Amino acid sequence: MLTALASLTLTGLLLGCGGGGGGDDSGSDDPFVQRTASANSKAAICAAPRSGNDPYNGNQPYPDRQGNIDNEKSWVKAFMGDIYLWYREIPNVNAAPYTTANYQGSVMYALDSYFQALKTRQTTTSGKSKDQFSFTYPTDQWDALSQGGITVGYGMQIGLLYVESPGKAVIAYSDPNTPATAASIGRGAEILAVDGGDVVLDYDSSTGDYTLNAGLYPSAEGEQHSFTLHDYGASSNRNVTLTAQQVTSTPVQNVHTLDTPSGRVGYMLFNDHIATAEGMLINAVTALGNAGISDLVLDMRYNGGGYLDIASELGYMIAGSARTSGKVFEKLSFNDKNPLAQVDGIATPFHAAAVGFDPSVSSGSSLPSLSLQRLFVLAGPGTCSASEAVINGLRGVNVDVVLIGDTTCGKPYGFFPTDNCGLSYFAIEFAGVNALGFGDYADGFAPNCAVDDDLGHALGDPNEALLATALSYRSNGSCAVTASRAASFDETHAAREPMKLLRSPLRENRILGRPK
């Protein structure tokens, strides 16, 4: 049952309305504008035009004009035909059935379903879908999250263990200063029920939905839902009531050092490449540099990605100028008709200066660096896209990146988010390679040491299995025998499956802004 829950939840997150805008710039000679030449004249003709001004675009008026859903579908088809990396593989799709009447009265549901139908149906070498990643999202929610780290919720990341029944929904981590931490909901706590509905068993076959989805994923501030929890190691269950609020995530946490016989080791939990991460990463690297670390353990097991420029900044801060000067962090490749493919220097360098995503950071200010020759990365299936770009980019300049945990998600692709009528489209537009020309990891990066996530210890605790294995590997060059898949055996399951994080596709991406 939990497998279906994950799918339904991600689909449900597509509902809403948003900001942003586009228009007909067909007369421009800008290659970024010309890449969507066929779609430009069809843009911003909307079934439900927005009014007023866009707070995330210099308070400019929304460009929307009155139209209908057929106008928006026409734009979607043209947009995909222009920029989709695999445009030759777009299937023939009848647009007629994608109406609000067939999709619960929702324009956004209908448009998202039509968009999903246009994706390639080809598979990778291992048999998984080539395009698991293209998605849509309400523009206002994307702007709030990407620019301010703000979402509506409780501030806790839920993951699934043992996806096949009987499964478990557990807390991977909670952000500080959120409803979750106020209720002392910590790592490893199991969610048994929400609003009286059993997490594993409560499925309503008449509606095809889980009654507990509304509780797990509240849509509005002030919503209250009851949870039955079993805290890790507790002898009994407890009930708590959580009130949804605007939550500001803390993408960089738990920065500290560990003293070992062979030198001081830094640790950093990095969960999201959003704008506010820029200043936090700078502060973290400065503090670790001042502490005189000789190695760094970068915990990205739950980091789905985000802005590629922030990944590049982090890569520079780890490797330093000697290794990265004049080197490409990630070079982009596009489809054969995209004019960006002909632009010289369409690549992300290793940024030695701040881009200025974070209001607390001055654009152009010099970045600190650690100048490390080696990096330990704690990783897993939740390590995606821009996080994988950190791994690949550093390996491209011959930094020894040692992976501990599980195979990463496998996403060497990215997109330029494009708004039309309040719905942002994240269609795979480019693939990325490092300075050595490598980018073939659609099936993920395999770990040097395979270790199951250890929910019994806090993240950053030297006894936590992944971190303990990294420290052991650093000391003796081998994987700890005790930190293996066999350690996950219990009487119900032969081995624990990798944790599946229940999060929107917005948290698993490689985002680029308009090329400068």
CATH number for the domain spanning 412: value is 3.90.226.10
On whether both 212 and 325 belong to a single domain, the answer is: no
Q: Is residue 506 assigned to a domain?
A: no
- In this prediction, residue 217 carries a pLDDT of 82
Domain termination site, one of 184, 213, 248: 248
Q: Which domain holds residue 208?
A: 150-248
Domain termination site, one of 102, 129, 144: 144
Both tokens of 11, joined, read 């689909």
On whether both 194 and 103 belong to a single domain, the answer is: no
On whether both 240 and 197 belong to a single domain, the answer is: yes
Sign of the four-CA dihedral 288, 290, 291, 295: positive
Domain count, the chain: 3
Q: Is residue 214 assigned to a domain?
A: yes
pTM of the model: 0.81
Both tokens of 485, joined, read 């898949």
- In this prediction, residue 211 carries a pLDDT of 59
- In this prediction, residue 5 carries a pLDDT of 28
Under-50 pLDDT residues of the chain = 1-22, 202-209, 482-495
Domain termination site, one of 144, 172, 198: 144
On whether both 283 and 319 belong to a single domain, the answer is: yes
On whether both 214 and 322 belong to a single domain, the answer is: no
CA–CA distances in Å: residue 414 to residues 21, 393, 509: 20, 15, 7
On whether both 259 and 336 belong to a single domain, the answer is: yes
Q: Do residues 25 and 41 touch, judged by C-beta distance below 8 A? A: no
Q: Is residue 501 assigned to a domain?
A: no
On whether both 195 and 303 belong to a single domain, the answer is: no
Both tokens of 76, joined, read 């979607």
Q: Alpha-carbon distance 454 to 194, whole Å?
A: 24
The helix, strand and coil proportions of the chain, stated in percent and rounded to the nearest 5, come to 25, 25, 50
- In this prediction, residue 481 carries a pLDDT of 56
Q: Alpha-carbon distance 508 to 26, whole Å?
A: 32
On whether both 139 and 226 belong to a single domain, the answer is: no
On whether both 71 and 158 belong to a single domain, the answer is: no
CA–CA distances in Å: residue 164 to residues 113, 168, 306, 334: 27, 9, 30, 38
Q: Alpha-carbon distance 287 to 27, whole Å?
A: 50
Q: Alpha-carbon distance 39 to 37, whole Å?
A: 6
On whether both 325 and 223 belong to a single domain, the answer is: no
Q: Is residue 58 assigned to a domain?
A: yes
Nearest to 415 by CA among 273, 514, 304: 514
